[in-house]
Amino acid sequence: MQAAELKKLYIDFFVSKGHLEIPGAPLIPENDPTVLFTTAGMHPLVPFLLGERHPAGTRLVNCQKCIRTGDIDSVGDSTHLTFFEMLGNWSLGDYWKRDAIVWSYEFLTSRQWLGFDPQRLHVTLFEGDDNVPPDEESADVWRELGIPDDRIYFLGRKDNWWGPAGRTGPCGPDTEMFVDTGAEPCGENCRPGCGCGKYFEIWNDVFMEYNKLDENRYESLKSKNIDTGMGVERTVAMLQGAGSIYEIPVFRDVFGVVRKLAGIGGSPDGGTLASMRVISDHVRTTVHVLGENLGVVPSNLGQGYVLRRLIRLAVRHGRKLGIEEPFIHEVGRRVIESESEDYPELRENREHVLSELRREEERFNKTLRDGLREFEKMLPDLLSSSGSVVPGETAFRLYDTYGFPIEFTRDLAAEHDLEVDMDGYRKAFDRHRELSRKGADKTFDGGLADHSEQVRKLHTATHLLHQALREVLGEHVEQRGSNITPERLRFDFSHPRKMTGEEKARVEQLVNEIIDRDLPICCEEMSLKEALDRGAIGLFKDKYGDRVKVYNVGDFSCEICGGPHVERTGELGHFRIRSEKSSSRGIRRIKAVLE
């Protein structure tokens, strides 16, 4: 079974159970600074899991592109990816555990659908603790379906609990489904989730039945939700009997390009295979981010920093394979060819994607040359000092100042019979990371799940800003992303040049005039066609469902949006632009506040 067939089967199955298919959201979350990327299928649905009404109803299904950066250092093994597709179905206060589990079992084991052998199916459940009881309700359903107790495992929070999006909020236990691969157990305590590879996780049903009030207090939710997730790549690998997720077609195509560029024939050894996997995964991820063309390009901040890191890691592994010439864009070209049928934006933005990959690889090659020169300057002192050790602070300075990877420093040191003080390097790196984390915590606070008064005000102000820019600069202006914290708004938009002082003043004036008029902000639900016919502005026209919410700010602006908003413009206060600068080619960025 191929990925396209799996996705169609899954959607068809849940449509037959009364679900409505909704489009996947973009990889860059709209108005949500709590995360850099969309990390799960439920992420774009947080407001609706919190109780807001979804225009498509209470039973939803879709396929969502996701990026998780926490596993970057694990990519290269047989299971980890940074970019993946997630199939999901949701109940927003509709069906509950029995239906969710019964349908999961039916889809997994019925010959009409995936046809897994029920005897190979193992499940895990939440074992309970001092605050929440064990999930015996789910266990009883699994037993009724024929799963015996020796294939039902009760595990702790680390394995079978999904916490809230923030410190408080909706949360609950989950049940996870694993397929026994037939491999030998790793020991007496071998079980699903142990990580040895015998049990392959294939699906996860989350039961959001509690509201976390504080560290130790929970209350039952009045409206309970189901949130499920099935990884496309992992499931296809299991269905095809593949030894790893990198053996499925989307990666085989990319592997072929890397093999040719590196001149690899036959079966690669472990290190070579790991490098091929890193290149394939990281280039695929960057192609999809750049392919959305929302103003995110390689840089030293936020999403741009992640892009830069992924590209440079891929280049480094290319060097390990002996690829000296620029090559990332060639791998990217193959990813576009393989996946543009499902994601046409890759084809539409092909030249943008390839030019950014080429440009970033050229920058990194310059970084390597600069770092090499700096190392050579240090070399006489390093060789003359006692101990033949490159201090950790020195190695970190090469990384922090020049972007010179520690692996390259170690290789160069070894050529001169030197060692790098890796403990010292890690301590310097950890200090840097802690400072960065504190800075990020201050920046990425609030967001889509944050319906605080100030966030509502700033989000509403982006609508006024968007329309004011279109009136002052022209209708070519389109939103290319936004980021809101309780302190300020950030708004990216298409425009070919720097705004003049007069233009900025006029935009500010327009926004404040609308605020002073105290216009009502009204929400209507309608079909996407009707919204567009009315002239509603929509950032993600091909990502909306058939039913959408349209917010009108009096007679001034009309936008498709998911909220949150205030009720009248008079609540906003005084709008002021703090800065206007380039975000990337053809994209400008405004930061503004409400005073």
Same-domain status, 287 and 201: no
Task: Give the Cα separation of 191 and 127 in Å (integer).
Answer: 15
Same-domain status, 17 and 140: yes
Among 275-289, 294-308, 418-432, the range scoring the smallest mean pLDDT is: 294-308
Answer whether residue 386 shows pLDDT above 70.
Answer: no
| 394 in any annotated domain | no
Q: 549: which strand partners?
A: 525
> What is the pairing mode between strands 575-584 and 479-484?
unpaired
Which of the 8 DSSP states describes residue 390? E
Q: What is the domain-level CATH number for residue 556?
A: 3.30.980.10
In contact, 278 and 328? CB cutoff 8 Å: no
Q: What is the pLDDT of residue 385?
A: 75
| 68 in any annotated domain | yes
pLDDT tens, residue by residue, 335-374: 999 999 999 999 999 999 999 999 999 988 888 888 888 8
Same-domain status, 457 and 588: yes
Task: Give the Cα separation of 234 and 127 in Å (integer).
Answer: 26
Q: Into how many domains does the chain fold?
A: 3
Same-domain status, 109 and 200: yes
| 420 in any annotated domain | no
Q: What is the domain-level CATH number for residue 35?
A: 3.30.930.10
Task: Compare 29 and 147 and report the one with higher pLDDT.
Answer: 147
Q: Which of 243, 258, 273 is the last residue of a domain?
A: 243
**Band of pLDDT at residue 441, cut at 50, 70 and 90:** very low
> What is the pairing mode between strands 587-594 and 575-584?
antiparallel
| 416 in any annotated domain | no
What is the chain's mean pLDDT, rounded? 88
Answer whether residue 8 shows pLDDT above 70.
Answer: yes
Span 410-430, average pLDDT: 89
**Band of pLDDT at residue 197, cut at 50, 70 and 90:** confident
Span 529-541, average pLDDT: 81
Task: Give the Cα separation of 77 and 75 in Å (integer).
Answer: 6
Same-domain status, 157 and 219: yes
Same-domain status, 506 and 578: yes
Task: Give the Cα separation of 389 and 422 in Å (integer).
Answer: 10
| 409 in any annotated domain | no
In contact, 409 and 398? CB cutoff 8 Å: yes
Q: Which of 362, 387, 406 is the last residue of a domain?
A: 362
Same-domain status, 17 and 159: yes
Structure tokens at 399: 């990384």
Task: Give the Cα separation of 194 and 338 in Å (integer).
Answer: 34
Same-domain status, 170 and 315: no
Same-domain status, 48 and 87: yes
Q: 83: which strand partners?
A: 67
Q: Which residue type is seen at 478?
A: E
| 147 in any annotated domain | yes
Q: Which H or E element spans position 503?
A: helix 501-516
Q: What is the pLDDT of residue 131?
A: 87
In contact, 159 and 193? CB cutoff 8 Å: yes
Q: Which residues of 177-214 are buried (b: 16+ CB within 10 A; e: fewer)?
A: bbbbeeeeeeeeeebbbeeeebbbbbbbbbbbbbbbee
| 375 in any annotated domain | no
| Domain of residue 193, residue span | 3-243
Span 441-468, average pLDDT: 70
In contact, 283 and 335? CB cutoff 8 Å: yes
Q: What is the pLDDT of residue 217?
A: 87
pLDDT tens, residue by residue, 203-234: 999 999 988 888 788 888 888 999 999 999 99
Answer whether residue 440 shows pLDDT above 60.
Answer: no
pTM for the full model? 0.75
| 429 in any annotated domain | no
Structure tokens at 144: 């009724």
Answer whether residue 532 shows pLDDT above 90.
Answer: no
Answer whether residue 438 shows pLDDT above 60.
Answer: no
Same-domain status, 459 and 553: yes
pLDDT tens, residue by residue, 321-342: 999 899 999 999 999 999 999 9
In percent, the amount of the chain with pLDDT more than 90 equals 53
Most confidently predicted of 50-54, 351-355, 396-400: 351-355
Largest Cα–Cα distance of the chain, in whole Å?
76
Which of the 8 DSSP states describes residue 556? T
Same-domain status, 299 and 201: no
Task: Give the Cα separation of 40 and 433 in Å (integer).
Answer: 25
φ, ψ of residue 485 to 5 degrees: the values are -115, 170
Same-domain status, 19 and 91: yes
φ, ψ of residue 85 to 5 degrees: the values are -105, 135
Task: Give the Cα separation of 333 and 328 in Å (integer).
Answer: 9
Q: What is the pLDDT of residue 270?
A: 87
The 10 Å Cβ neighbour count of residue 367 is 17
Q: Which of 300, 334, 362 is the last residue of a domain?
A: 362
